[in-house]
Structure 1
Amino acid sequence: MQPRHVLLALVVTLLWGANFVVIRLGLDSFPPLLLAALRFVLAALPALFLPRPDIGWGRMIALGLAWFVGQFSLLFLGMAVGMPPGVASVVLQSQVFFTILLAALTLGERPRRVQGLGTLVALAGLGLIGITAGTGGVTPAGFGLLLAAAFCWSTGNILMRGAGRADMLGLIAWLSLIPPVPLLALSWVFEGPERIGGALTHLNWTGVGSVVYLTVFATFIGYGGWGALLKRYPAGTVAPFSLLIPVFGAACAWLALGETFGPQRLTGMGLILAGLAVVVLPDLRLLGRLRSGVFPHR
């Protein structure tokens, strides 16, 4: 890769890693379901100018519900009820292992031995983090919701297998048309009109800035840059940079919010990253086939 493209990959993964801190800040201004809805209201605007991807509406709706409604509602709820951003950035990467499992169950893809080894290592890490629930800002509910968010992400990955090749920025814009209505409806039912009205009538720079970041930097610049790299280089060359997302996520949480990680939690995070590396780095052919896996959208 040319140095400027390496720099672009580093910038994109940094933006996606910092995204978890921004979500945490945004949750101080908006209830979680409303925050997710606002992100996609703005993210859908480019669909007015971009052609619709050549994907059937049935698959588009299923993708939007899994990737965006399911994943982000559960992610935001999990962080709201008890999941610090640094830990969240690592735990969410369990989607890779859920994807391997779902591919085996639904597509008949037998996991390779190295994938099984990496998954076992990562499961040990998740277990270490899981037994710290109730301390250090991690609650059992938050941990469970993050795992559910990762499962929704992996479900979207499987759905992408039959979607063919599509411009990623255009795909994200059109998929963003799907979440606002269900997310706003869920927010109205579970968060209530008073809480929604209070958040929208008492806007502050932190809240507005978080929505802008989630839309412009995490979505438009992130996906635009990542898509440009994938058009220029093989997926196997670009995909390993996604391993930096949880590294940047934990570092940003430490620098911006003073999040600390005890020895047990650090060990668990390290095991998850090690398992992820074992799966991703030697098996780049799978990542090339499972194109969605190289789009670690946040």
Structure 2
Amino acid sequence: MAGDSGMAGALASGPLARDWRTPAELLLLGAIWGGSFLFMRVAAQPFGAFALVEVRLALGALILLPFLWRERAAFSPGLWPKLALIGAINSAIPFLLFAWAAQRSPAAVGAICNAMTVLFAALVAFVFFGEKIGMRRAVALLVGFLGVVVLATSKAGGLSVGPAVAAGATAALLYGVGVNLVRRHLGGIPPAAAAAATLSCAALLLAPFAVAHWPSGPIPAAAWGSAIAIGLLCTGYAFLLYYRLIQRIGAARAATVTYLVPLFGAAFAWMFLGEPVTPMMVIAGGLILGSVAVSQRAARA
């Protein structure tokens, strides 16, 4: 989610267990992914979208490369074009869109849009793969899209955030597409290895653009620190934490972290950047998160 929910949402469920670690790790993961929107807000302007996302992809892949090496026998030569495509759809392009949005709107806007991933994944599965959606989930989708409209028509600091909302919603849509592609084409591959492969492909695809758009001036230390945190903590480590949760409590329960990301994203931006949370953001976030809750409940039923 953070924008890193695309790959995570596609994983299979594991055995159920209840202990103190589960709520603690869900809170930690929500804070990490919510913090990614704060870090993007700090780093996006000095780096620019292409350079920031390249740093993020490269560092995230670096954390996960040992898993790719361990499972390298599972990656046939013919699989790599699919990995490159999924890497572009599920990582490179949505990361760019969120970074672009972070240059133009408060961090809470991107965090709220990210929650739409669950709804878009259901919509893509219905439209392109023939999965049943049901009346309750259909209504939930409509309510969620209404929340996006409310958010897009709002203002922050007197300026419209509509373009940033459009970018964030498009990123969530691509995550939804990526979820379905991963389920259907990478289901037999250990998820950490698959994530390492797709992030590596995405980093290689984006590298020429990052070089061409690398900032000409000095980059502040705070921006470098934020970029490194996004890559190592919010991408690489967060994936590992999410996989561990899925193995312990199952994908459906682990996906409840979706509700925490906008809350942490907005809270961190308010605390550390002084960005206000407007009434329209609260209304839009309520509509979107409420629709996600109904959609997940209907899916489990």
- Residue 216 (structure 2) pairs with residue 198 (structure 1): yes
Compared CA separation, residues 116 and 261, structure 1 to 2 (3 A): same
Q: Is the deviation greater in 116-125 or in 11-20?
A: 116-125
Q: Match of 1:19?
A: 36
Compared CA separation, residues 10 and 165, structure 1 to 2 (3 A): farther
Compared CA separation, residues 43 and 134, structure 1 to 2 (3 A): closer
- Residue 99 (structure 2) pairs with residue 76 (structure 1): yes
User: In the alignment, is the contact (CA less than 8 A) between 2:58 and 2:231 conserved in 1?
Assistant: no
Compared CA separation, residues 5 and 28, structure 1 to 2 (3 A): same
Q: Match of 2:237?
A: 221
**Residue of structure 2 aligned with 1:45, choices 62, 79, 96:** 62
Q: Match of 1:236?
A: 252
Residue segments in structure 2 that go unaligned for 5+ positions in a row:
1-17
Secondary structure of 1:166's counterpart equals coil
User: In the alignment, is the contact (CA less than 8 A) between 1:26 and 1:210 conserved in 2?
Assistant: yes
Q: TM-score, normalised by structure 2?
A: 0.84
Whole-angstrom CA distance in 2 between matches of 1:234 and 1:47? 21
Whole-angstrom CA distance in 2 between matches of 1:235 and 1:43? 21
Whole-angstrom CA distance in 2 between matches of 1:282 and 1:254? 33
Whole-angstrom CA distance in 1 between matches of 2:65 and 2:34? 29
- Residue 78 (structure 2) pairs with residue 61 (structure 1): no
**Deviation for aligned residue 1:184:** 2.9
Q: Match of 1:292?
A: none
C-alpha RMSD over aligned residues: 2.1
User: In the alignment, is the contact (CA less than 8 A) between 1:22 and 1:213 conserved in 2?
Assistant: yes
Q: What percentage of residue pairs aligned between the two structures are identical?
A: 22
**Deviation for aligned residue 1:165:** 4.0
**Deviation for aligned residue 1:153:** 1.0
Q: Match of 1:166?
A: 189
Q: Match of 1:254?
A: 270
Compared CA separation, residues 47 and 85, structure 1 to 2 (3 A): closer
User: In the alignment, is the contact (CA less than 8 A) between 1:33 and 1:187 conserved in 2?
Assistant: yes
Compared CA separation, residues 262 and 133, structure 1 to 2 (3 A): closer
- Residue 111 (structure 2) pairs with residue 93 (structure 1): no
Whole-angstrom CA distance in 2 between matches of 1:257 and 1:134? 14
Q: Match of 1:263?
A: 279
Secondary structure of 2:46's counterpart equals coil
Residue segments in structure 1 that go unaligned for 5+ positions in a row:
286-298
Q: TM-score, normalised by structure 1?
A: 0.85
Whole-angstrom CA distance in 1 between matches of 2:65 and 2:156? 45
Q: How does 1:264-279 map to 2 (within 5 A)?
A: 264-279=280-295
Compared CA separation, residues 278 and 37, structure 1 to 2 (3 A): same
- Residue 149 (structure 2) pairs with residue 109 (structure 1): no
- Would you say how many aligned residue pairs link Structure 1 and Structure 2? 277
Task: Report the AA paired with residue 20 of structure 1.
Answer: F
**Deviation for aligned residue 1:111:** 1.0
**Deviation for aligned residue 1:49:** 2.8
**Deviation for aligned residue 1:108:** 0.5
User: In the alignment, is the contact (CA less than 8 A) between 2:124 and 2:177 conserved in 1?
Assistant: yes
Secondary structure of 1:110's counterpart equals coil
1:62-94 CA deviation, whole Å, 9 max, x = no partner? 1101011111111111222x2211121011222
Whole-angstrom CA distance in 2 between matches of 1:22 and 1:197? 18
Compared CA separation, residues 134 and 204, structure 1 to 2 (3 A): closer
Secondary structure of 1:146's counterpart equals helix
- Residue 199 (structure 2) pairs with residue 176 (structure 1): yes
Q: Match of 1:280?
A: 296
Q: Match of 2:48?
A: 31
Task: Report the AA paired with residue 185 of structure 1.
Answer: P
Whole-angstrom CA distance in 1 between matches of 2:237 and 2:156? 36
User: In the alignment, is the contact (CA less than 8 A) between 1:169 and 1:220 conserved in 2?
Assistant: no
Whole-angstrom CA distance in 1 between matches of 2:260 and 2:241? 15
Whole-angstrom CA distance in 2 between matches of 1:272 and 1:167? 31
Secondary structure of 1:198's counterpart equals coil
Whole-angstrom CA distance in 1 between matches of 2:281 and 2:261? 18
- Residue 144 (structure 2) pairs with residue 122 (structure 1): yes
**Deviation for aligned residue 1:135:** 5.6
